[in-house]
Amino acid sequence: MQLNGSEIVIECLKEQGVDTVFGYPGGAILNVYDELYKHRDEIRHILTSHEQGASHAADGYARATGKVGVCLATSGPGATNLVTGIATAYMDSIPIVAITCNVGVSLLGKDSFQEIDITGITMPITKYSFIVKDVTKLADTIRKAFRIARTGRPGPVLVDIPKDVTAAVTEYEREELGKVTPDISQVSDEGISRALSMLESAERPYVFVGGGAVLSGASEEIREFVRKLDAPVADTLMGKGAFPGTDSHYTGMLGMHGTKTSNYGVSECDLLVVLGSRFSDRVTGNTETFAKNAKILQIDIDPVEINKNVIVTEEIVGDIREVLKIINRNLKQQDHSEWLEKIQQYKEKYPLKYHTDALTGPFVVEEIYRQTKGDALIVTEVGQHQMWAAQYYRFTKPRTLLTSGGLGTMGYGLGAAMGAKVGCPEKTVVNIAGDGCLRMNMNELATAVRHNIPVIEVVINNHVLGMVRQWQDLFYDERYSATVLRDAVDFVKMAEAMGAEGIRAESQEEFREAFAKALTLNKPVLIDCQIDSDDKVWPMVAPGADIKEAFDEDDLKNK
């Protein structure tokens, strides 16, 4: 049948099973929005307050559901406003498709009004960037974009469409969505055999779980693997929930703000099994001394990650879930009770702790955990509150912590929380924010109200840029350059002005009551939690130091 480009865009979205898009209209993309209006009963459009909010919402939708998230923007500044969200998704391997429209083909390259080379700009931060100048190639390009976004190591793809292409007419024929099969083409019997030999000869093995394990959907296989290997487990920020945080084998996060148990255990192990982690500097500390007593077995879908930051002993390139299925079938039951007992002693000696006599970030997170019974989708911004959420909320399922790990994007959380709630309407969705981050995205609270998206925004308000101030305290002789936010901004009034419920909490009891109320309201709620400006995230490893050099408040006092 004959369709114009805009009709083809919408039909291709329907082919891919897209039920929600996030975006902001403008002149260049107006034809697509006109067609979207005609299909509003089939595809829901969430009009955000800013295009960056749309890209983060598509990201949050993708992380929470496992589907491909979709965002739309017009040419020029509309398209460039997506860039930070696209980069956030790229760093964390999140499948989104960003569709932008540009000036007409004849106007490209002429500095036309609101023209920008968005494919050139986003090339380094996408798996692929397309510009479609021929309407006959539009349908296949959109299908290819979705296929690239969701296969192999997932990630964002951008499709830019000149306005005249959205109006041009060509023949369109519907295609059924093909099934995605996990890639284990590079997995050899010899590689599996070498891995099994390493696993069965280890005396002090440690399992280290990263974000790739979440994306692979390998949680069940990891639990079986850990039981058979009989080993302790640490994770990254991105790996939260791939292995249950309530399991006795679990020792907490690894790295700069990881537990002492995980940092000491990995430093002493003789085999480190790495499942879908890219060895971020925040995890490894000094790479020269990281796990220096251990052989390292790395399992990852992306060969680029092998030996990139840390040299490994053996690698298996392939989908983690499928690789572990093979290993689990062949791995003999191991017994490392003595090693696990030593790790347990570390857990008892070095528990996470905080001051319990005041309202603090850790208390807020633990109270959220108690009231949600550990069954919420937790979204965070970036900073101290992000680390407290990772430390004190015990994630037992994958896709339940949504956070910007690689890029560290302040302003990510509120958009992502809306996307997560739209994708998983039955779940309680809580965005844990800092007051600095809220200033970067609080306009999206109006979006949540406009579309009746009942997210709970919990603001850990210390009136400073907390994590930067912590570094200024510890490494810059308390020179608080541009990190103090004490001004007249009232977040409760701001929330109320936008149509949300605003509640202030200055004590533990006030927060208990405020959060309990928020759970009953079924509307956007902001809780402004007033905490001390000098509260810190403990433990901590100084940048570039050995992870064994983790220190906390007591260590500083005793130094």
Of the residues 42, 113, 186, 509, which is catalytic? 113
Looking at the DSSP assignment, which residues form a beta bridge with residue 511? Answer: none
- Candidates 326, 249, 237; CA nearest to 276 is 237
User: CA-CA distance, 22 to 450, in Å (whole number)?
Assistant: 13
Q: Is 114 a catalytic residue?
A: yes
Of the residues 387, 467, 498, 540, which is catalytic? 467
What per-residue confidence (pLDDT) applies to 540?
Answer: 98
What per-residue confidence (pLDDT) applies to 184?
Answer: 84
- Candidates 67, 123, 119; CA nearest to 399 is 67
User: CA-CA distance, 168 to 95, in Å (whole number)?
Assistant: 29
Of the residues 35, 67, 146, 163, which is catalytic? 163
User: CA-CA distance, 436 to 239, in Å (whole number)?
Assistant: 25
Average pLDDT, integer, range 32-57 = 98
User: CA-CA distance, 449 to 63, in Å (whole number)?
Assistant: 22
Q: Rounded to 5 degrees, what angle do the CA atoms 446, 461, 46 make?
A: 20
User: CA-CA distance, 159 to 317, in Å (whole number)?
Assistant: 29
Average pLDDT, integer, range 496-522 = 98
- In the predicted structure, residue 538 carries a pLDDT above the cut 90: yes
Neighbours of 126 (CB within 10 A): 24
What per-residue confidence (pLDDT) applies to 16?
Answer: 98
User: CA-CA distance, 75 to 29, in Å (whole number)?
Assistant: 7
Provide the residue type at 332 as one letter. K
- In the predicted structure, residue 135 carries a pLDDT above the cut 90: yes
Q: What is the per-residue burial (b if ≥16 Cβ within 10 Å, else e) of 272-305? A: bbbbbbbbbebbbbbeeebbeebbbbbbbbeeeb
What per-residue confidence (pLDDT) applies to 180?
Answer: 82
What per-residue confidence (pLDDT) applies to 559?
Answer: 79
What per-residue confidence (pLDDT) applies to 181?
Answer: 86
Secondary structure (3-state) at 197: helix
What per-residue confidence (pLDDT) applies to 256?
Answer: 98
SS3 percent helix, strand, coil of the chain, rounded to 5, is 40, 15, 40
Average pLDDT, integer, range 43-56 = 98
The pLDDT mean for the chain works out to 97
Residue 61 pLDDT grade (very low, low, confident, very high; cuts 50, 70, 90): very high
C-alpha distances (whole Å) from 405 to each of 329, 377, 500 are 33, 16, 28
The string of pLDDT tens digits covering residues 285-339 is 999 999 999 999 999 999 999 999 999 999 999 999 999 999 999 999 999 999 9
User: CA-CA distance, 159 to 106, in Å (whole number)?
Assistant: 18
Average pLDDT, integer, range 444-448 = 98
Residue 185 pLDDT grade (very low, low, confident, very high; cuts 50, 70, 90): confident
Burial class (CB in 10 A: 0-12, 13-18, 19+), 14: middle
**DSSP code of residue 540:** B
Q: Give me 335's structure tokens.
A: 């017994």
Q: Is 16 a catalytic residue?
A: no
User: CA-CA distance, 75 to 116, in Å (whole number)?
Assistant: 7
User: CA-CA distance, 131 to 157, in Å (whole number)?
Assistant: 11
What per-residue confidence (pLDDT) applies to 36?
Answer: 98
- The runs of H, that is alpha helices, within 350-461 are 361-372, 384-392, 413-423, 435-441, 444-450
Of the residues 14, 15, 114, 200, which is catalytic? 114
Of the residues 7, 11, 35, 51, which is catalytic? 51
User: CA-CA distance, 254 to 424, in Å (whole number)?
Assistant: 29
- For 123-165, give the DSSP string: GGGSSEEEE---GGGHHHHHHHHHHHHHSSS---EEEEEEHHH
Query: CA 445: distance to chain centroid?
Result: 20
Q: Is 467 a catalytic residue?
A: yes
User: CA-CA distance, 86 to 98, in Å (whole number)?
Assistant: 8
Secondary structure (3-state) at 451: coil
User: CA-CA distance, 62 to 416, in Å (whole number)?
Assistant: 9
Secondary structure (3-state) at 520: helix
- For 12-48, give the DSSP string: HHHHTT--EEEE---STTHHHHHHHHHTTTTSEEEE-
CATH 3.40.50.1220 fits domain 189-349: yes
Domain residue ranges of the chain, discontinuous segments joined by +: 2-171, 189-349, 361-537
Secondary structure (3-state) at 533: coil
Angle, helix 337-349 to helix 260-268, in steps of 10 degrees: 150
Upper half-sphere CA count for residue 40 (Cβ side, 13 Å): 7
Share above pLDDT 90 across residues of the chain, in percent, rounded to a whole number: 97
- The runs of H, that is alpha helices, within 151-259 are 163-167, 189-201, 211-216, 219-229
Average pLDDT, integer, range 425-440 = 98
With contact defined as beta carbons under 8 Å apart, do 180 and 151 qualify? Answer: yes
C-alpha distances (whole Å) from 431 to each of 374, 376, 435, 502 are 14, 10, 12, 14
Q: Is 418 a catalytic residue?
A: no
User: CA-CA distance, 400 to 65, in Å (whole number)?
Assistant: 10
CATH 3.40.50.970 fits domain 361-537: yes
User: CA-CA distance, 238 to 236, in Å (whole number)?
Assistant: 5
CATH class, domain 2-171, is alpha beta
Q: Name the one residue in this structure whose structure tokens are 């394990």.
A: 213
Q: Is 51 a catalytic residue?
A: yes
